[in-house]
Each structure stands twice: as structure tokens, then as C-alpha cells.
Structure 1
Amino acid sequence: MSTLENLYKQVILDHSRRPRHFGELPGATHTETGHNPSCGDRVQLMLKLDGDVIVEARFTGKGCAISVASASLMTSALRGRTLAQAAEMERAFTQMIRTGQPAAELGDLVALQGVHTLHTRVKCATLPWQTLDVALRQAAATGPQD
């Protein structure tokens, strides 16, 4: 295993054991739940928007190490981004998981790049992101929140 692969593995383990932004979000403006029936992973994503900026993102749920790490890394990356930036990040992450080719703007999220070779884990890594996609569509449909 290369040094970089080992580092990525450590990032995933750290975020799965000590997830960031885990827990309820009082005053959330948007909440969505995602579920993967094939493995039982479940995530509830909560966003607090100020206009079209995500000022806070938190999650709850239960799942495998990859699912929890993905949600933890995602919620860390979302804070301070506009809805359009978050949508672009979701597309870039999904593309990386499908192809293994990371985009520079993904930052620490590239730790999950290797999941693209683990076909049974792709749904685990993308569950939080699919849930985000639904939340972003809901936010766009309801307009800016103050």
C-alpha cells in the first residue's frame, strides 16, 4: 500500500470513528433522509441556509465506515458554500466515485477516491451525496431562506 493510500485509509477511519458534524441541527431549514435498503445504511442530512449559503450542515444516521466517513467529510466541506457550489461539488464527487478521477476542488474528499474500485461500496459512499442532491433540489424549489 502506498503512503497516499495509507493516508486516505486513515482519513476514512478517523471520520468513521469520530464523525464531524454528527447530531441534530436545531433550526435546520432543510432536512432530507436517505436510505440504502441493500445494506441498511441510513442518513438524515440537515442544512441551515442563510439565503443561498449553507451556514451549517449536520447529519445523523447509521451505516458502514465508508457511509459515515462520506457524510462526515461532506458536511465539513459544505459549510460556507452556496447551493450552486454544493451542487457542483456533488457532481464532482459522484464523477470521482464513478471514474476514480478526482477534481482539485474536492480537497479531503479525495480520500474516498479508491471506493470506485469497490463496487459494493459505491452506494455507501454516495448515499449522503444523493441525499444532498434531494435537499439541494428542495432548497432551489422553495427559494432563498433568511
Structure 2
Amino acid sequence: METPQLSSLYQQLILEHYKHPRNKGEVEDATAEIHMRNPTCGDEVKLQLRVEDGAVVEVGFTGQGCSISQASVSMMTQKLRGASVDDALELAAKFTRLMHGDDEVARDRSLGDLRALAGVAKFPVRVKCALLGFDALQEALKADPSAVERARS
């Protein structure tokens, strides 16, 4: 069980990413781009990636929505810059498991700031908010299958 101080710290971290998002903006010469919207609540994100030699060399997003959706995509973009395509897909899989209440993943320090969103799993209606950026990531990489193929060769 989280202590009140830890819960408060996590809330502050989420609000910090919401108010001052990282990597917000357009990516010049993006190799993959996807726009996704959560019709339930109106959250939306346009994710752009530039993938070169099997790695995410540039990532950016635009969009609007609740603090959870926007903080989640901000935190995600920090973890993506420089990551291989396979690592990016693994991050998306881990975060999805976190959002479905996987306690083992919640202790995985490799998630960094994303661990602050673990409590969202207790609110099923908000899980889609947190996953919006990660769903966009997976779709963007599917839309650029050559990036995945190049990463694995």
C-alpha cells in the first residue's frame, strides 16, 4: 500500500508532466505519425516519430486531454528517445501490463516516471486515458513496418 507522501509525490509528478510536457511539438521529417482519440472522454494525441537505423531518434506529440493522458504521453516520449524499436514495443507492453494491475511491473524501475501512473489501474475508466499514447506508439510503428524490419535486421 502506498504511503500518503508517496501518493502525493506521484500526483505532483503527473501534474508536472501535464503542465510542462516533455517533447510536445511537431517532429520534422517524421517517418511515422498517428492521430488517436479516445471517444469516451475526448482525449487526443498526435504522435510523431523519426526512426533511423532501428532506433527512435526523434519523438514528439501534440494533443489535448486530461492530466493522465497528457502526462502519460509526455513520460513515454522521454523513455523513447534513443530506444530501439523493439525496446519501444517492449515499453508499450510493460506499461499496458502496469495499467492492468501487474504488481511485478509496478516494481520495475526501468519504467522511470511512468511508475507514478500505477494507481490508475484502480480506476478502469481512466486506463484508456493512460494508454492512449502507448496505443498511438504501437499503431505508429505498425504504420511504418519498415522501421520494425530495419530494427530486427
After TM superposition, the structure 1 = structure 2 runs for residues 1-146 of structure 1, keeping only pairs within 5 Å, are 2-101=4-103, 102=106, 103-141=108-146, 143-144=149-150
1 CA distance for matches of 2:130 and 2:75? 11
RMSD: 1.5
Are 1:53 and 1:80, in contact at CA under 8 Å, matched by a contact in 2? yes
1 CA distance for matches of 2:143 and 2:109? 27
In the superposition, the TM-score normalised over structure 2's length comes to 0.89
Are 1:100 and 1:114, in contact at CA under 8 Å, matched by a contact in 2? no
Query: Which string of whole-angstrom CA distances, capped at 9 and with x for unpartnered residues, describes residues 29-87 of structure 1?
Result: 11011110111111000001111100111000111110000010001110010000000
Task: Say which SS state the counterpart of residue 150 (structure 2) adopts.
Answer: coil
1 CA distance for matches of 2:86 and 2:8? 33
2:74 corresponds to which letter in structure 1? S
1:106 corresponds to which letter in structure 2? L
Unaligned runs of 5+ in 1: none
Query: Which string of whole-angstrom CA distances, capped at 9 and with x for unpartnered residues, describes residues 18-38 of structure 1?
Result: 111101111111101111011
Shift >6 Å, 4+ stretches: none
In the superposition, the TM-score normalised over structure 1's length comes to 0.93
1 CA distance for matches of 2:9 and 2:102? 17
Task: Say which SS state the counterpart of residue 132 (structure 1) adopts.
Answer: helix
Q: 1:140 deviation in Å? A: 2.9
The percentage of aligned residue pairs carrying the same residue is 41
